[in-house]
Structure formats: C-alpha cells, structure tokens
Structure 1
Amino acid sequence: MTRFYEWEMYHAAKVLINDIFKVKPGESVVITADTMSDERVVEAVAGAAHDAGAKVITVWMQASPYGVGKQTDLVLPVEGLAALLSKVDIWIEFNYQWLLYSTVFELAFKENKKLRYMCMVGMGVDQMVRLIGRVNIPILQKFQDLLVEMTRRAKRIRITNTAGTNVTFINDPIRPIVNDKGDASAPGIYMVPGQICWSPIFESINGVIVFDGIINPPFDQPLREPVKLYVEKGVVVKIEGGSEARIFENWLKSFNHPQMFRLAHICYGVNPGAKLTSSIIEAERIWGATEWGLGYVDTTLTGGEPIPAPSHTDGITLNSSVWLDDVLILKDGRFVEPRLAELQKQLGIT
C-alpha cells in the first residue's frame, strides 16, 4: 500500500532540489527540523538531495516552547548550530518554530556568504504537493517578474479589502523587492514560491489594515473574526476586534519593544495552490491576498543593516484590491491588469 501522496511528495521533493535549488553533486545540504515537523517531508527532501549527489545532514531539535526567531535561542545550542550552518552550501528549514531572524540565523549569514537558505517552516506533505509539486514554476516566474516590475515603477500604492482595509504608502526606490519565484540557485534568503515582498518607506504607511486570514504568531489557526490595525506613520497605534485582537495586542506588548508595533514589510500572495490553513507559510501565498509583517526586518528588505526586534509576526489580508499610482491591478483577489490576467489564467486561476 502506498501512503498519502507518496508519489506526489517524491516529485515535489525532486522539484525543490533539482529545479528550485539546482543542487550540484558535492554540495552540502543541511535540513533542520523540530519535533513538530513532518517527518515524511524531511525524509523525502533529504532523499532527493542525496539522489542529486549532495552531502546531506538532517538536524532534529526540540520545538521551542517560547516561540520563534530569537525566542528559540533559549533552548537551542546557538553557537554549535550556527557553526554548522556557517560552513555549508544550502540550509532548508522545516522547523515549525522557525529559526528565521534568530541568533543562529544571524550568525550563519554573517559568516557564510555562499549560503542558500529557504524558509519552509511547518510544511506538510499536502502543502509540498500543492505549493511546489503541482505549480507551473516557469509560468509563475513570468507572472512574478512582471508584477515585480510594475510594482517597482509605482510610487504610491493603495490596498483595500471588503473587511475594511484601506491603507496607503510610498515605495522606497532604493530598497529591494524580494521575488520568491522558485529560484534559489544563488546565495541568499528565499521563501516558498509565490510571494513578492518589500519594505516601503515606513513613515509613509497610513490607514487601516484588517487581518481576516491568520496572524502567526501568536495564533496557529485561521482567525475567527477580523483584527483591525490602525496605522500612523508606519506604527500600529490601535488594535480593534474581539478576543483574538486583545490576545494579539497583549502578545505584541509582552516584548516591551517598540519595533514590535512597527510594520516591517508588505507582500503579495501569488501561489495558485495555496489556501487558508493553519500554516502561515501557505496562507501568505494565497492568490490575491496581501500580507503585512511586524517586528524584525532583515537585510534582504532594508538593503542594508537589519532592524532588530525580539520577534516577528505576519498577518493576512484576504481578497485584496491594489492600486499602483491609481491604476487598479488587483480587484477582490483577482488580477485585472490584462497581462497579469492572462498569466493568471495560464496558472489555472479563474
């Protein structure tokens, strides 16, 4: 008897290793996982890397009871793990409690200029199949490249949604736009395909952002009711909603750090296989959603030094509408700009 998605999982792992990372024989690959990770995903990807001729190490660790990012420092052998990651070619992170933005992460990238890293936290078999194995990566890359160029040329951006989002900001022409389109063949920090992320001029962000998908951390399941953030000059000044809004606000306050109330980035979600689940990695790639991060800002977004914070959180705004310099390109979660709409159709989105 075959197991659930056994063949499809094998194909997705091969796509990740061969087509996205383009692993070469002799390269060193480290896969990190914790006790909340999906063992089948780890084994399949390790096997695919071995088949490609890589030198493979899997590292299993306890799941941090304190949270993600620098909160993992409290329970992990920071210096030892960072030393390992500072000497390898590829790091694939399947930890549920992610090391992204942790001290391990910072030390690894400070010492290792050749490192290719992908954050795939909490990925299960079903997600690997839908988000990687069944996605037409070449068409997705064309779509994302076009959307990046259109966004890069825009100065002023407005985002709304039917839940009440109405926020505007101004792009910084110097800061990079991170295009996670399924190409991790060069040194750098990568995410699962289907996301475009950047940091605008923080002080220009004003209005209302409503999260109606998921906020993670502190939640590990979709929201029961929307959480409304009032933003002035890039800082969250008020949070409204039900019990989840109060929990979220108290979680931000618990760090006693002003950066936790400051916006870090904005992203488009454009993976045709993504749907709303308990996984933030999947939810922030839902087609036509936008995602805002708060807290820590890494170097790939600032284009210079990171903006430190004790943690980071991401919230999802579903069925977004986006105007680039007053031109509507995305309406209620579907792209209406003609070139984007045609590629959207080729990706199976109706």
Structure 2
Amino acid sequence: MEKLISEDVFPTEAEIIQSVEVLFNELLHFRSGENLLLYVDEGSDLRVANLIKRCVENRGGQAEILRLSKTVVLDKQVLELCNAIRNGSFQVMCELSEQYFYLTKAWRIALEAGIRVYSLAGLDSASFVRCVGNVNHFAMFKFGLKLKKILQTTRHLHIKSQSGTDIRMRMGFTLRIARFSGRRLYRLITRFCGSPQSFIGDPGGILDGKTYATFLGGQIAFRGIPRTIEGIAVIDGYLWPPDEIGSLEKPLVLKIEQGRIVEIGGCSEKSKILKERFRGQPIEIEHFCIGFNPGARLPSKILEAERVFGSISIGIGKGAFHTDGVIKSPSLKMDNKLIEENGSFISAQLSGFRPNSFKKL
C-alpha cells in the first residue's frame, strides 16, 4: 500500500525536533537519563523515530527502535514486543507502528513494569508536527472534559450528517453510577444486567499520576446502551483496517439494529472487502468517538483521521478484531439540544473553544 502524505509541506528537521520537545515536556513528562522503547513497522515514518531517538540520547538516555513487520502474524509481533520490554530497562514506550498493540498483552506487560506508554500510531512527520508540535494540548484536553461533562448528563443522543448518517441511541442511568464509582462497578453492573451498558471515556492525550498509557489527544469515546443503537452510519472519511479500504471516494453505508451491523452497502468494491473481513461473525458497535484535534486532516492514517476536528468515528467488531470508520461533518444532538452542526461545535457550553484556540501561538 502506498504511503499516505498528510500535507504537501515537508517539515524541516528543526520543526520535528521542536515537536519532539512538546512530546517529551508536555505529554510524556520525559526526564533526563530515562530510556525509551520505540516500535515501528512499514507504516511508520522512520524520520520521526530517528529524531526522537536522537533527542533521547541528547538528554542522557538510551532509545531502542524495534522494527516489527506487518507481514508477520500479530501474535508473533506481540511476542517480539513483549521480549523487548522484558529484556530492556525502559521508563517510556512510544508506539509509532501503524498497527495498534493496546489490546494485546504487550501494553499490559509494559504497564506492570511501570513503563509510561504513548501511542502515535502511524503518524508521518507532517502529521507529527501538526497534531503534536503545533497544538495546545492542555486547552484541547479541557475541551474534551467539557464534552465529557455534557455526555454525562445526556439520556438520548442523535447523530446525523448531510451524507445520510442517522443514528439514535439511549445513554441510560448506568452512565452516572459508573462515572463516580469507576470501571470495577461498571463491570459489575454489566454482569448484573446481562448485557453491555453505556460508557464514556476520558479525553486522553496527557499522562499524569492516574493515567500511564494513552493515545494522541483530540478524541473522546462513548457508547450508548447497545440494544438502543439504531440507524444508518455513512462512512465517508476513512475506514481501517483492512488496508485495502482506507480513504473513501464513495462512502460505505452500515445499517445498525440493536447495536449490531446487519447490512453493509455503499461502495460496491469496498463493501465487499469489509463484508469479507467480518464474514460469518456478528458485527457489534464497540464505540463512537468525537474528534477535536485541530491539526488532524484527511486523508491520513486512522489515528489522525478519527481526530479530525468535529468528526465522529464508529468502532465496529470486538477486541483486537476491530475496525474504525470516520463520518465527516456530522451534526450531534443530545436530549434534543444541538451540540454540533455540520462539524462545528455550537453549544453555549463549548463557547470559546474553536480549532484556532487549540493551536500554539
């Protein structure tokens, strides 16, 4: 698959190094003398990896670049990454591979070893500068917390788009219990109810004393009560995996009934590919995400694509067998109040937060 170029401007070495400093100082809280494990694959930009390595060494630490191959089955890649974690002495681990590993035991082993983990999966040098170096991450995180607060008080949620998306869901009372009592009570509620319930994630993007693993900021995940999720999702921005789909000139159309995809249509060529990926398996809605990173653009790798400002992405599948699709310029109603219109946030509760307010001066 040909490499995607995020924008025409090829960033200078100085711009990338400046962005590495933002990554180290604001996001990783990287300290002099710490060691870093970077893992890459064929979808990575080695220019970014090599400059991160150089900056680590300039701070008196050591950095190892582990090269994984996408031609090797995922289980073997996971084993190779686990061995590198166990055999090294790292305080920080950074994911630059296009393939995610957060649902594998590699991240669990890293966290058990006290390693801080940050995913920049598949970002090229231009994306790295735009989405990491040129962003006010604390303002963006604050915006995410505002969105979370609105979601937490919502009972009914409606997503629409001019391309034909029309999805409704109910959020439910378990949302309020789980937000105060944590994931353990959430799991107990789910077990008691006999089916998955609604949830709301944290904005992510910043490591602190409570968060030791995260992804590039500019996104918040949620899901309504699965059995109440109904409608049509028109994926017109990007979908991955599989690699054969990616950018969409013609949209994919997913019909949803009671939280499951019951029909895949739209682009005839790419709908066949998606049907083949899930052949013989029920396709459940795993999550929705709202994107709000002002540097993110299309076309791009999925990590960036689902953070495009104002976009909504839908995650389908289960666990590691998981696919994300991006809906461009949606409108979002919460309890019949219009929060977002055609990709622009218009709620009074979000006033003062615009893409330019998240960019570094």
Same fold (TM over 0.5): yes
**Structure 1 residues 199 and 348: CA distance shift in structure 2, 3 A:** closer
The answer on 1:249 being equivalent to 2:275 is: yes
2:15 and 2:38 map into 1 onto residues whose CA distance is 20
Report the AA paired with residue 65 of structure 1.
T
Query: Superposed, which structure 2 residues align to 1:118-157 within 5 Å?
Result: 118-157=118-157
Question: C-alpha distance in 1, partners of 2:141/2:62?
Answer: 29
Q: CA RMSD in A?
A: 2.3
- Where does residue 12 of structure 2 map in the other structure? 5
Classify the secondary structure of the residue corresponding to 2:352. helix
Given the superposition, is the C-alpha separation of residues 241 and 80 from structure 1 closer, same or farther in structure 2, using an over 3 Å criterion?
closer
- Structure 2 counterpart of 1:200: 224
Q: Give the Å deviation of 1:208.
A: 1.1
Look up the match of 2:354: 344
Contact 1:23 1:54 in 2 (8 A): no
Q: Distance in 2 between matches of 1:131 and 1:96?
A: 16
TM-score by length of 1: 0.84
Q: Alpha-carbon deviation of 1:108?
A: 4.2
SS of residue matched to 1:12: helix
CA distance in 2, matches of 1:38, 1:205: 38
- Does the 8 A contact of 2:309 with 2:355 survive in 1? no
Please give the secondary structure, in 1, of the residue aligned with 2:118.
strand
- Name the counterpart of 1:161: 161
- Superposed displacement of residue 274, structure 1: 1.0
Partner residue of 1:295? 317
Deviation of 1:28 after TM superposition, in Å, equals: 3.4
| Structure 1 counterpart of 2:323 | 313
Distance 1:246 1:257 in 2: 15
Distance 1:81 1:221, change over 3 A: closer
More divergent stretch after superposition (194-203 vs 233-242)? 194-203
Structure-2 separation of matches of 1:250 and 1:22: 43
Describe how 1:260-279 pairs up with structure 2 within 5 A. Answer: 261-279=283-301
User: In the alignment, what sits opposite 2:236?
Assistant: 212
Q: For the structure 1 residues 141 and 100, does the alpha-carbon distance in structure 2 shift closer, same or farther, using more than 3 Å as the test?
A: closer
The equivalent of 2:333 in structure 1 is 323
Taking a change above 3 Å as real, the CA distance of residues 95 and 257 of structure 1, as seen in their structure-2 partners, is same
Counterpart contact for 1:275–1:286, Cα < 8 Å: yes
Stretch moving more, 7-16 or 188-197: 188-197
Paired residue type of 2:307: R
CA distance in 1, matches of 2:58, 2:152: 39
Aligned equivalent of 2:205: 182
**Counterpart amino acid of residue 335 in structure 1:** F
Q: Is the 8 A contact 2:119 2:216 kept in 1?
A: yes
CA contact (8 A) 2:140 2:358 kept: no
The answer for the alignment partner of 1:299 in structure 2 is none
**In 2, distance between residues paired with 1:264 and 1:121?**
20
Distance 1:100 1:19 in 2: 22
Gap regions ≥5 residues in structure 2:
1-9, 179-185, 187-198
Q: Return the alpha-carbon distance in structure 1 between the equivalents of residues 245 and 213 of structure 2.
A: 24
Map of 1:46-195 to 2, 5 A cutoff? 46-62=53-69, 64-65=70-71, 71-73=73-75, 75-76=76-77, 78-85=78-85, 88-109=90-111, 111-112=112-113, 114-171=114-171, 172-173=174-175, 174=178, 177-186=200-209, 187-195=211-219
**Range moving further from structure 2, 161-170 or 80-89:** 80-89
- What is the number of equivalent residue pairs in this alignment? 322
Residue matched to 1:19 = 26
